[in-house]
Amino acid sequence: MAESKGALIAKTVQKHAGRAKEKFLQNLGKVDRTADDIFDEHLQNFTRQQNSANRLQKEFNNYIRCVRAVQAASKTLMDSLNEIYESQWTGHDLLYVQAQNLDMLWQDFTHKLADQVLVPLNTYQSQFPEMRKKVDKRGRKLVDYDSQRHNFQSLQCNPKKRDELKVSRGKELLEEAKRTYEQLNSELHDELPALYDSRVLFLVTNLQTLFAAEQVFHTESSKVYSELEAIVDKLANESQRGSYTLKKNTELPSPKSPNANSSLIINTQPAQNNISGALDDTAPAARDTSPTTQINGNANSNANSNANSNDNSLNNQDASPQNAVAPSKQVEELYDIPVGATTDNLPPGVLYRVKATYKYNREDVDELSFDVGEIIRVVEYDDPEEQEEGWLMGIKEGTNEKGMFPANFTKPL
């Protein structure tokens, strides 16, 4: 085994040495070489085609990397806009929806580029290394054929020292080298032109896919940006009309509130309706959904004389179980129901329901944690003094956990 391996190595070294000698003699012009002008033309076309494919593959890989970088930057930008776009501004929910649509367009675009453009390009480009190996092998076999041809000619040129056995052996080697060379040469004469002609169909198909993906992406994304522009234009118009002018409030926003603006607002308006008469201190206190009611300051001194008139006054109004006044305050805090919130068919004590649009992890024990999509029932604070602007009190459906949570992390249902 070791001897056969050594013999094979020696034969390979001898063959390489023979090729090197043949090329050296050809370069010096000592011997002629087999010429094939048609193959040389095919080889030039193949080399040019391979260089073009390598360049296209390199540049397209770089293009996809840049597109993915822009995709990541676009998502980060839209996430930032969603965070700073205040919840009570017009189009807040639409801005979030359009940002999601834009991200989906980017994902679809990059998927098409990678799957429908880059993969076929890689397949096309992978043909060239194998074809190049075959061309190089044909070149080596051509040198072997020329070497055997020159060797056979030298054996025939000296009739005095002619050895018929060597001549016969030389002829066999020449015919074998010629047969091997001509077989490879014939195959390449067919394969190289076919590969060269395929460049047109590949390029057309690949570019059509690329340009179609670009066209769809830019058309659809332009619609999204048009919607975003309309949202901002509407915000600008409403801002010019003073819709978002800050009003003075006697209560400062909570430092831990993520947004001073919220869908929950506590009104501290002066009382509009005076009720003549006095109320007993032991009367049960409840929240009034009508404008705030002021308590007559002379109630204690005129309790007996005004009791009947107070009853008549109350009977003339549409009273409900929720209508009452707090005797300890001059004004009452009211909960404003956001536009679009449904108040029908709700359990007792529930003002309305909201859906989480962002995930929130509580920072204090009195707060409520939730994930995106969870439903929360908004209820009144147990102690109205604990109310903080921009925060709601709610009970999470499914777990019945209760706590405060930021209003701008949810949207009303």
**Do 222 and 272 sit in the same domain of this protein?**
no
**Do 205 and 154 sit in the same domain of this protein?**
yes
Number of domain units in the chain: 3
Residue 256 maps to a domain? no
Which residue range(s) make up the domain with 373? 350-412
**Do 274 and 139 sit in the same domain of this protein?**
no
* pTM metric for this prediction: 0.51
**Do 105 and 161 sit in the same domain of this protein?**
yes
**Do 308 and 362 sit in the same domain of this protein?**
no
Residue 377 maps to a domain? yes
Residue 283 maps to a domain? yes
Residue 218 maps to a domain? yes
Grade residue 164 by pLDDT with cuts at 50, 70 and 90.
Answer: confident
Residue 79 maps to a domain? yes
pLDDT at 274 over 70: no
Q: What is the pLDDT of residue 327?
A: 40
Q: What is the pLDDT of residue 8?
A: 61
Residue 257 maps to a domain? no
Q: 363-376 as b/e, with b when 16 or more CB fall inside 10 Å?
A: eeeeebebeeebbb
Q: Could you tell me if 285 and 325 are in contact, meaning their C-beta atoms sit under 8 angstroms apart?
A: yes
Residue 250 maps to a domain? no
**Do 196 and 303 sit in the same domain of this protein?**
no
**Do 76 and 148 sit in the same domain of this protein?**
yes
**Do 85 and 200 sit in the same domain of this protein?**
yes
- pLDDT tens profile 35-84: 889 999 999 999 999 999 999 999 999 999 999 999 999 999 999 999 99
Q: Which H or E element spans position 321? A: none
| Residue 33 identity (one-letter amino acid) | R
Residue 254 maps to a domain? no
In 3D space, the residue among 409, 377, 412 whose CA is nearest the CA of residue 391 turns out to be 409
**Do 233 and 276 sit in the same domain of this protein?**
no
